[in-house]
Structure 1
């Protein structure tokens, strides 16, 4: 193996074909940056000190976490690389013939969209400048330095997970090593806070604001990882939220009606208080901010989450609906509403809400654009790997050291590397589509898997068919996608505008809706009938007195428009005759039914079948409604202004004599009940809501009233209805859907209801679903293509999971080898599959099998998350839902602590191998902080000492404990 003295000892080196081509490529790619930008680029030029004929060499590597607040710090970093060159052995000691002559450090400024560069000559001076998107060179100002510092810190924080962000030749260092550096960070962030919107936001946010951007996300990630919510609130958020204009004279801030607290910043402050278990402070902040701006979507979102955690689901549902109303284009608002529906077991509304979520195209993180390298050097930093086999599987001739044995001991049953790779190429497990989901689609898949975990696959398909239009229904329906959203309607069918309502009123309404109905309520249909009878009698007594005056006024109004009304009346009469002929035929069928001894009713005209004269004023309509029923051909007054009455009389002549006799007898028995006229029904048309839910409610109420008006017959004569007290309280009708009952409705009632439904919902597909405890008619929606694809992905995952568990059961029943049944990559994929389907115990088993084959950083990371309790809630649900699931280890047990520390050691060695010396933020350090919070710093330190680690390895892990002690995380005092 050839030894190259031009390589760095402990830093990755990517060699260029031509000196400076990496800088030129970076300049060309500045216009294609979409988010925070690529990592910093450190380019160096090496020259041979003794051989002048040796050409200079250009190499570079990427960096995250270097202090970019001044040119002096960047010059010091490049100068430190001079001591990392390989030393060649000589006669009189080690010497190196290669020297670094110059270097250029590039850091992207995400605020101003420029690239700040510092060029250093050794020996020589330092030159700092910026390069614009157009390639122009400009001077650097103090503000640009501060923006570059914040941008570099945010990149180091947001890209701290090596499994989620991996770049060739990337080196990570700790961005904030001391408390003094953190104070500088707080000062810089405070000055740049109001410009955070210019950085952009993640792929799940549509409207970038003060509270939704990369700056606030990075700060939350930095302080939340260590559990330091109180420091975040006290040092940054509280001064910004309550200081007038936040110390920044921004035009956006000056245009606001500032009243002591900024609602956007208050939403982050309330969230921080909630996460830090300071709920009283959080409620106080939300109260103050909501008084200033009740329509602030981030505040409503946090309030809904707070109520959900307190199990106040009805109130949380009301607030979540308001958040959706004020921010209909935000995915987070819809996602919170769907999450609350899932908590309330209202899965149909959850699916409908999920289907309505705005989905955004995922924009990946910025990766550096580099030219093809001549060669890459990955040096081994120390001798730690002598005791820790990381299973490196690449060739040293092009990428670094020789591949070592991937197992500590050779197993005869273990397949070879070539055999594993061939099996991976044809594996169905590795071809699952769900692991590729990102952004809003990954969130939607988690909601689907949550619903599946509760109801199962068969019930999920049933729910899907009840709320979405299937293919056969779509073909048979002429207007399949037309639907009315019932979310904006109350139980009475009225569209309520909640914008002007205070939060107290909304809260009272949510509480009243959540209260159970009285079990001793009287029959609502009977009470509605009593109320209708009482109102009809009162109207008849009152309107008879003003009948003459009303007719005179109506005549004076109608006379000037006689010629116009004649043409309108002719058209109305023709249309009415056609419709009433159909009614006459149905009445004949009613008479035939009554002759066979069955009860029948005169079919009432549906609101869609009535014709109201536009020239008829409201007093005239009331006058027509007050006409008494005819008894033996006497006492019935004819309405001269309603031409539809003539058509009704003409159609009634075609009815059989038997039907006329039955109707006359029925009218005689029900003398006090006033039938509805066409004008009366026309008045009701003005009050009919066009929503689907209310239309079905009125259909059901009218059908039930029709049944109540029909007395049962004995010996050919109808019985008189039982007397009812007019003083009984009238309750709101609860029947909203026509459902099958023990007693079949009469033929006339069924025909009337059928005709009404056909006229109102012609060529539209609808279903009656039980939503939130109330029976409402919800018209089916068209399922979005992306949601249908997610359901298919869930089916593929379920099929692979079922096959895996069946195979495992058969192998264990027959006593066969389990470890090498799948390859290491397949075991990792199966572990991720089990986590997606909420089976953490089986995921733990799969990751352990993966580690039995060879080292896997992903498997150790997932096991560490399980050991520190990240999936504790999922483990409890799994144990309650399924039988035979073993109980997980207690988080406070010594075994759990030792297993977690074992994972920390392995991951620390892996990070050190791949030039990741970043102590915090780091997923491994986050887990160590949780261990300190559970067990205390003293116990964790003593347990680490008891493991008898070598000094270099112990020092790696000790850095995490020193951070916990230095920054005073929870548990560091005991």
Structure 2
């Protein structure tokens, strides 16, 4: 299999990129940035002049200095861009070790001997030991999975010039990966965790997330079961991970048995309780009768409720409980629990901070040439986009805010916007009723000192369990701007189609500011709100989410209304490709899949878009459209390879599931029968060959 092309970013000042990486080490908080490869070159005709070029890479074997030096060596024999007129004098490979928080470096002069060392956060050199190389290797594999693109191209566009390789290509490299994971497993919490986890622990961290993603991508469940069985003997908490892999491999009875036994010993392990709740919710979706569904959701409710008691400061436990209430169609409780979620400031993946380059060379391999893909970059630059589409704030949500918004949009999709507003006013204290009640009772005096905050919150969980402390900080950091409700003349959209009937899209009224209510209470204002005793104060971040949801629905409604009007008049509704792509993501965000596909198709009719094609691919997979799935996957694999990525876990998973459902022979035949150049088809055959190497279900032999 041909390797992706090598991008070259030329430095303005020699070794600028390495110096910038060294300076950024102290600020790293996650798994670290992609590996940096720096080459020092000199023109063949002018040996006195030197040139510094670099690129980034993930998935290279970082188990030793020899393997990294070997990668540098492969670059010296390739001739891309300036390489034809220059020769490499030396190379430096930098790979971050997130366990010990050092940057492992290999310096390879040509000719000369290889030097390996590490640089700590203070920029000081240290000796590279075998233990440090083991940690570095494991971090490298986890980065390759964590920082891989999901097919949409969003990750690829974040950092320029990154080559992405598959770190585990056969059973031998799998053994090395799982052996390293086993040795360092109980230090995994040191790596941190996803942004929705407040406190990393033994079973919730970047290492366990990477392991579960690997098993899900490759289908190597037996290897995962074997690993977690060994680790469970050392720590019973690992039972939650073991059961998750068993559920992935459809060994549900064994998974339930292990969870049941483990919870006898640790009845308040929140990860096990959450795993149980998640499993029961999935079983409720496949229930054959309403009674069976109700029973399974009732059991899921018990598990989810107890997990919030076991881990009151974790977002995931409260979000799961809210999801259970949504599935039970208990809307008031769903909104109440959503309001209780502790929100965290989103911590993005570490990205390299490089100085402005002198020159950028992004070559293309002949193997990736496909006309519809090659025309994509040029056409993007000339597209006009309506400002109202660019300013949709929900598109920028990440982490806990994105998940909370998803729960809110699910409720809206099921019951409609008007009904959601009614439930909101039933659950929370609205500003108008707060002012009205305050005026009515202003002349009354009471012997007992009470305040709006405690009255309004009567009946809610304990404030610390409610996550208010975490919310206040997250609100200030992440949602301060969103909390300011823009009440300037926003035109209300004409109609909103809810359950087939057009209704007026009402702008949400403001909930009372909890800070203001508490401040008045602290100042000794004595109010008695008899009608508000059973209502809650809506957190600022959730109040903001309602305003953001309104903006999404307003733009969506205008779009659908205009589309209907144009069709009624047999006129073409025109938008640029970029606008269609944004409308597609908007519809998908609001959980209107048919409308999302319609917008994505309109975008693809004008130019290639990995985001649009990836959105359609999800629907193809859902509907088991094999040929359409294959056609979309081939194009996405080619686009990824065009931008130096030979590995996407999501696309590998898609191919694996196709083979599992249809068989390898049929899938290979469909790929080969596609009317595209052979060099393009070979890229997707490579993914299918990986499945055969791992002996996935449906492959020959």
Indicate the residue corresponding to 1:375 in structure 2. 359
Equivalent residues in 2 for 1:383-462, closer than 5 Å:
384-385=368-369, 387-393=371-377, 403=378, 406=379, 418=382, 420-421=383-384, 424=385, 426-462=386-422
Q: 2:142 — aligned with what?
A: 154
Q: Distance in 2 between matches of 1:283 and 1:383?
A: 48
- Match of 1:345? 329
In structure 2, how many angstroms separate the alpha carbons of the residues matched to 1:180 and 1:463?
56
* Residue in structure 1 matched with residue 529 of structure 2 by the alignment: 764
C-alpha deviations, 1:711-732, integer Å up to 9, x for none? xxxxxxxxxxxxxxxxxxxxxx
Q: Work out which structure has the larger RCO, using CA pairs closer than 8 Å and 6 or more positions apart in sequence.
A: 2
Matched, 1:322 2:306: yes
Residue 126 of structure 1 deviates from its aligned partner by: 0.6
Going from structure 1 to structure 2, the CA distance change for 1:452 and 1:378 (only over 3 Å counts) comes to same
Does residue 277 (structure 1) correspond to residue 277 (structure 2)? The answer is: no
1:264 maps to 2:237: yes
Match of 2:599 in 1: 846
1:232 aligned onto 2:230: no
Report what 1:301 is aligned to.
274
How many residue pairs align between the two structures?
A: 608
C-alpha separation between the residues in 2 aligned to 1:314 and 1:51? 77
Q: Counterpart of 2:28? A: 33
2:285 is the alignment partner of 1:332: no
Mapped partners of 2:675, 2:18: distance in 1: 47
Q: Cα gap change, 1:417/1:15 in structure 2, threshold over 3 Å: closer, same or farther?
A: closer
Q: Which runs of 5+ in 1 are unaligned?
A: 1-7, 89-94, 246-261, 394-402, 407-415, 490-760, 768-777, 870-889
The 3 A distance-change label for structure 1 pair 488 and 946 is same
* Correspondent of 2:678 among 926, 951, 954: 951
The residue number in structure 2 matching 1:564 is none
3-state secondary structure, aligned to 2:374: coil
SS in 2 for 1:164: helix
Task: Please list the CA deviations of residues 409-459 of structure 1 after superposition, one character each: whole Å capped at 9, or x if unmatched.
Answer: xxxxxxx964x33xx1x4312211111111111111111111111211111
Match of 1:19 among 5, 14, 20: 14
Residue matched to 2:154: 163
The 3-state SS of whatever aligns with 1:848 is helix
Superposed counterparts of 1:753-902, under 5 Å: 763-766=528-531, 779-818=534-573, 821-869=574-622, 890-891=623-624, 896-902=625-631
Residue 105 (structure 2) aligned to one of 109, 117, 124: 117
Tell me, in whole angstroms, the C-alpha distance in 2 between the residues paired with 1:12 and 1:79.
Answer: 16
| SS of residue matched to 2:353 | coil
The 3 A distance-change label for structure 1 pair 488 and 429 is: closer
**CA contact under 8 A between 2:81 and 2:361: conserved in structure 1?**
no
* 2:175 paired with 1:183: yes
Using the alignment, how far apart are the partners of 1:307 and 1:96 within structure 2? 61
Higher mean displacement: 218-227 or 197-206:
218-227
Cα pair distance change 1:183/1:837, threshold 3 Å: same
C-alpha distance after superposition, 1:770-802 (max 9, x if no partner): xxxxxxxx7111111110111111111111111
Contact 1:301 1:336 in 2 (8 A): yes
1:934 Cα offset (Å): 2.1
Gaps of 5+ in 2: 285-295, 439-449, 463-525
1:44 aligned onto 2:39: yes
- Aligned equivalent of 1:83: 77
Separation (CA, whole Å) in 2 of partners of 1:961 and 1:931: 10
User: Does the C-alpha gap of structure 1 residues 389 and 838 become closer, same or farther in structure 2, counting only changes over 3 Å?
Assistant: closer
Q: Does the residue aligned with 1:428 lie in a helix, a strand or coil?
A: helix
Change (3 A) 1:176 1:354: same
Any conservation in 1 of the 2:457–2:536 contact (CA below 8 Å)?
no
Equivalent in the alignment of 2:192 = 200
Q: Over aligned residues, Cα RMSD in angstroms? A: 2.2
Are 1:357 and 2:351 matched, yes or no?
A: no
Aligned to 2:350: 366
User: Contact 1:864–1:927 (CA<8 Å) still a contact in 2?
Assistant: no
Q: Secondary structure at the match of 2:104?
A: strand
Paired with 1:949 and 1:828, the residues of 2 have a C-alpha distance of: 25
State the match for 1:59 in structure 2: 53
Q: Deviations over 1:690-720 (max 9, x none)?
A: xxxxxxxxxxxxxxxxxxxxxxxxxxxxxxx
What's the TM-score, normalizing by structure 1? 0.60
CA distance in 1 between counterparts of 2:531 and 2:577 reads 49
Conserved in 2, the CA contact under 8 Å of 1:865 and 1:927? no
Look up the match of 1:135.
Answer: 123
Aligned-pair CA distance for 1:156 = 0.4
Range with greater deviation from structure 2 (152-161 or 273-282) = 273-282
Distance 2:370 2:629 in 1: 22
**Are 1:915 and 2:670 counterparts?**
no
Which stretch of structure 1 is more off in the superposition, 125-134 or 308-317?
Answer: 308-317
Query: What whole-Å deviation, never above 9, does each CA across 1:853-891 have from its counterpart, x for those lacking one?
Result: 11111111111121111xxxxxxxxxxxxxxxxxxxx51
What residue number does 1:480 align with? 452
Q: Is the 8 A contact 2:429 2:536 kept in 1?
A: yes
Distance 1:13 1:350, change over 3 A: same
CA deviations on 1:719-747 (whole Å, 9 max, x unpaired) are: xxxxxxxxxxxxxxxxxxxxxxxxxxxxx
User: CA separation in 1, counterparts of 2:651 and 2:283?
Assistant: 31
C-alpha contact (below 8 Å) 1:481/1:782 kept by paired residues: yes
Counterpart contact for 1:110–1:199, Cα < 8 Å: yes
d(CA) in 2 for partners of 1:39, 1:389: 26
Relative to structure 1, the CA distance from residue 138 to residue 779 in structure 2 (aligned partners, 3 Å threshold; closer, same or farther) is same
Change over 3 Å in CA distance of 1:160–1:52 after alignment to 2 = closer
Q: Secondary structure at the match of 1:100?
A: strand
Give the one of 666, 681, 689 matched to 1:939: 666
Q: Does 1:463 align with 2:463?
A: no
What SS does the aligned partner of 2:387 have?
coil
Give CA-to-partner distance per residue, 1:743-775, whole Å, 9 cap, x none.
xxxxxxxxxxxxxxxxxx9703446xxxxxxxx
Query: How far 1:949 sits from its partner (Å)?
Result: 3.5
Report Cα offsets for 1:146-174 as digits up to 9, x if no partner: 00000111110011114235311111112
Q: Provide the residue aligned with 2:695 in structure 1.
A: 968
Q: 473-482 vs 330-339, which deviates more?
A: 473-482
Alpha-carbon distance in 2 for matches of 1:417, 1:195: 46
Q: Which residue of 1 aligns with 2:495?
A: none
Between 469-478 and 354-363, the greater mean CA deviation after superposition: 469-478
* 1:601-652 Cα deviation digits (max 9, x unpaired): xxxxxxxxxxxxxxxxxxxxxxxxxxxxxxxxxxxxxxxxxxxxxxxxxxxx
The change in CA–CA distance for 1:969 and 1:13 in structure 2 (over 3 A counts) is: same
What CA deviation, in whole Å up to 9, does each residue of 1:46-68 have, x standing for no partner? Answer: 12334334x11011000011001
SS in structure 1 at match of 2:52: strand
CA, structure 1 residues 349+386, in 2 after alignment: closer, same or farther (shift >3 Å)? closer
Does the CA contact (< 8 Å) of 1:16 and 1:57 recur in 2?
yes
Residues 1:288 and 1:87: Cα distance change in structure 2 (over 3 Å): closer
1:345 partner SS: coil
